[in-house]
């Protein structure tokens, strides 16, 4: 199935469902909240029964996003009453905050052999970590999950209104650093312009998005830039944070771990947008696993192929991989010691 076919199928499943659960990641960012909020607009309009949550969502932070008040910070007790569960922007099952419930549900279905509810749909622009959803819609080349929600609604011939346009633009601006990063392309700017024509307020979102940065993210930015290597001949810029460095920055809460996962995507996109850079590589070590993110800024360089050499994958312009080992800083760049 191609992207369009998957979107059509997803929209169909959602519209035909009796009770839908919308989930985005723990300690959500603006893209996570606005992706859920965008689809809520449609469900409200069609008088659908639904629940939505993002574990640990903070009160008052996202009130510039329409429908955000309908995104709870707590998970429902059981998944049994839902016939469709849509998971947005999560990157991994762990980040849903209901991993155990989802796995239990999949296990019951597997053992009983009958296609029992719920049907799981995953919509995401992070690297793939696992094959688990009934319908996986993953596009690492998409700047934000909210733009995939836009694609989803378009696939269902839904007429985009002001509220949806604000949701789509909020996620897009948050994940492109307000169009500063290389994931802001002519396509994303064109989509932003369409959202403005539909009534989204650029100023309101800009103000809300830029005031949300915190001290920890500045420290991580600082360390990533300090550790940067640039090879002028190849155009490869690389940086990384070792496990010790990440721990030194006092990142050990669950909330911070999520922040880091998102931040690394943002930093690697930024690095690839620097002058003279063709490819950016950002590495981080977590519990003996090295995660690599690659972004290409050059039409001749396919980073999915590079990631493939390390057992990973993705798209031409954005890809990733995981390796077991230790990350070692050297004068010439980064080394991986395989364990």
Q: Which chain residues interact with Mn ion by CB under 5 A?
A: 31, 89, 145, 175
The CB-of-173 to Mn ion minimum distance in angstroms stands at 11
Nearer to Mn ion, 118 or 171 (CB): 171
Q: Report d(CA 165, CA 174) in Å as an integer.
A: 14
The CB-of-124 to Mn ion minimum distance in angstroms stands at 8
Q: DSSP of 76-127, one letter per residue?
A: -S-STT-SEEEEES-SSGGGGS-HHHHHHHHHHHHHH-S-PSPEEEEEE-SP
Q: DSSP of 141-175, one letter per residue?
A: TSS-HHHHHHHHHHHTT----HHHHHHHHHHHHHH
Helix (H, G, I), strand (E, B) or coil at 3: helix
The CB-of-265 to Mn ion minimum distance in angstroms stands at 7
The CB-of-146 to Mn ion minimum distance in angstroms stands at 8
- Look up residue 20 and give its two tokens: 């839908």
Nearer to Mn ion, 29 or 41 (CB): 29
| Helix residue ranges per DSSP H, 198-239 | 202-210, 215-226
The CB-of-276 to Mn ion minimum distance in angstroms stands at 27
Nearer to Mn ion, 31 or 285 (CB): 31
CA distances from 165 to 12, 199, 251, 285, 339 (A): 21, 7, 34, 37, 48
Nearer to Mn ion, 90 or 307 (CB): 90
Residue nearest to Mn ion (CB): 31
Nearer to Mn ion, 25 or 48 (CB): 25
């Amino acid at each position: 199935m191609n992207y369009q076919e998957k979107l059509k199928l997803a929209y169909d499943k959602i519209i035909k469902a009796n009770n839908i659960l919308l989930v985005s990641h723990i300690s959500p960012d603006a893209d996570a909240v606005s992706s859920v909020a965008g689809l809520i607009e449609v469900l409200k309009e069609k008088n659908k029964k639904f629940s939505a949550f993002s574990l640990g969502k903070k009160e008052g932070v996202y009130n510039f996003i329409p429908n955000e008040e309908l995104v709870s910070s707590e998970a429902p007790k059981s998944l049994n009453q839902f016939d469709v569960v849509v998971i947005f922007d999560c990157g991994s099952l762990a980040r849903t905050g209901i991993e155990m419930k989802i796995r239990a549900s999949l296990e019951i279905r597997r053992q009983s052999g009958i296609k029992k509810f719920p049907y799981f749909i995953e919509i995401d622009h992070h690297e793939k970590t696992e094959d688990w959803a009934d319908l996986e819609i993953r596009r690492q080349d998409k700047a934000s999950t909210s733009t995939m929600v836009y694609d989803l609604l378009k696939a269902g011939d839904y007429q985009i209104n002001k509220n949806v346009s604000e949701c789509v633009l909020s996620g897009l601006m948050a994940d492109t650093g307000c169009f500063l990063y290389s994931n802001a392309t002519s396509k994303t700017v064109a989509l932003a312009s369409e959202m403005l024509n539909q009534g989204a307020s650029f100023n309101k979102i800009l103000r809300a998005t830029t005031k949300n940065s915190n001290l920890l993210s500045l420290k991580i930015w600082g360390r990533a830039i300090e550790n940067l290597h640039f090879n002028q001949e190849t155009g490869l810029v690389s940086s990384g944070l070792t496990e010790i460095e990440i721990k030194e920055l006092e990142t050990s809460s669950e909330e911070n771990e999520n922040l880091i996962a998102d931040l690394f995507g943002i930093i690697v996109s930024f690095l690839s947008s620097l002058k003279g850079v063709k490819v950016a590589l950002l590495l981080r070590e977590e519990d003996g696993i090295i995660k690599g993110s690659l972004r290409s800024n050059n039409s001749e360089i396919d980073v999915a192929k590079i990631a493939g050499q390390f057992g990973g994958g993705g798209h031409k312009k954005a890809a990733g991989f995981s390796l077991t080992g230790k990350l070692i800083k050297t004068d010439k760049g980064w080394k991986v010691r395989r364990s």
